[in-house]
């Protein structure tokens, strides 16, 4: 009972932290205005880890990573790695005895976790943007959501024509993202978990 409660807390806290790191990464990548209150909130909650990590990873700017802030992406990955490792430890998995043979699976699970959360962020951003466009298109979140989703949806609109005057690219993206999560990400995660 206590283990289940600890696992729930671990998944909730580290999952939210991964989401915040990834939001900050995608906000920078998509050039979201950091004057937005939601973006300021994300910066405030992640600054404690991003600032020292940036100093450590500053050397990578010489290798062409200056355009994207890889410190936030690295932190998201490390948070997912910590999540899977601590989850196994709480379930009494013999990490020490297993040796180095489990690390490829753990590293793969962490990468898959980052991909899953990334897809989920964009999935909910597109859904929220669609709902807000009907209910309140002038909300403070509207410019942030537009900046975040426009790089994806504008490319999709080149291939997907509106039906009447209705843009169906958000619907196609939502269906496609859910298909990827259900048919590729979930089976791959189950396979990696089974290999531990």
Count: domains in the chain: 1
**What's the Rg (C-alpha) of the chain?**
19
Higher-confidence position of 137 and 25: 25
3-state secondary structure of 166: strand
pLDDT exceeds cutoff 60 at 75:
yes
- Which residues, at least 6 apart from 161, have a Cβ–Cβ distance to it below 8 Å? none
User: How far apart (Å, rounded) are the C-alpha atoms in residues 196 and 190?
Assistant: 10
DSSP string, 68-109: S-HHHHHHHHHHHHHHHHHHHHHTT--HHHHGGGGHHHHHHH
Q: Give the range of the structural domain holding residue 40, as residue numbers without chain letter.
A: 2-194
Tens-place pLDDT, residues 44-69: 999 999 999 988 877 666 555 555 67
Q: What is the pTM of this model?
A: 0.91
Question: What one-character DSSP code corresponds to residue 163?
Answer: B
Residue 162 CB neighbour total at 10 angstroms? 10
């Amino acid at each position: 009972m206590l283990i289940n409660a600890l696992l729930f807390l671990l998944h909730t806290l580290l999952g939210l932290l991964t989401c915040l790191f990834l939001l900050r990464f995608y906000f920078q990548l998509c050039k979201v205005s950091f004057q937005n209150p939601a973006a300021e909130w994300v910066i405030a909650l992640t600054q404690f880890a991003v600032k020292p990590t940036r100093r450590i990873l500053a050397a990578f700017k010489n290798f062409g990573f200056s355009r994207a802030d890889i410190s936030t992406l690295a932190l998201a990955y490390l948070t997912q790695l910590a999540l899977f490792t601590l989850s196994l430890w709480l379930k009494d998995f013999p990490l020490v005895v297993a040796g180095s043979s489990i690390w490829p699976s753990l590293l793969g699970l962490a990468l898959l976790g980052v991909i899953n959360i990334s897809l989920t962020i964009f999935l909910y951003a597109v859904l929220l943007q669609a709902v807000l466009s009907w209910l309140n298109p002038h909300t403070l979140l509207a410019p942030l959501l537009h900046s975040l989703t426009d790089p994806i949806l504008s490319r999709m609109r080149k291939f997907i024509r509106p039906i009447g005057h209705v843009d169906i690219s958000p619907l196609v993206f939502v269906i496609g993202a859910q298909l990827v999560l259900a048919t590729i990400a979930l089976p791959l995660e189950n396979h990696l978990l089974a290999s531990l």
